[in-house]
Amino acid sequence: MKFTQYFLYTRQRPDRASIKIEWIEDTIKNPGFTEVQSDGRIRKWKRIEEEGKILRVILLPDGETIHNAFFDRTFKEEGK
């Protein structure tokens, strides 16, 4: 997996450090919902049952490089 420097930096935050790499991988491979931003970045969401939360992973336009990953408190499953 490839990561941006931003991802590596934000991974150090206490609220991001608990996000397991395997959850990120699974979200990329088996998202519940995917959306392409106007800048080409790819957003992928998936419910993480262990946490009872929705994980959002943002990839660069290459579809491989992870730019961000966080629990998305504003995601509405029925609204997407």
Q: What is the tally of structural domains in the chain? A: 1
Triad 13, 37, 12: Cα angle to 5°? 10
pLDDT at 61: 98
Q: Please, which residues have CB within 8 angstroms of residue 41's CB and are 6 or more apart in sequence? A: 58, 59, 60, 61, 67
Tell me the Ramachandran region of residue 5: left when phi exceeds 0, alpha when psi lies from -120 to 50, beta otherwise.
Answer: alpha
Q: Mean pLDDT across the chain, nearest whole number?
A: 93
Quote the domain boundaries for residue 34: 2-79
Confidence of residue 77 (pLDDT cuts 50, 70, 90): low
pLDDT at 54: 96
- CA nearest neighbour of 20 among 43, 42, 53, 61: 53
pLDDT at 36: 97
pLDDT digits (tens, 9 = 90+) for 15-51: 899 999 999 999 999 999 999 999 999 999 999 999 9
pLDDT at 78: 56
Average of pLDDT values for 50-62? 96
Using DSSP bridges, classify how beta strands 2-3 and 65-71 pair: parallel, antiparallel or unpaired. Answer: parallel
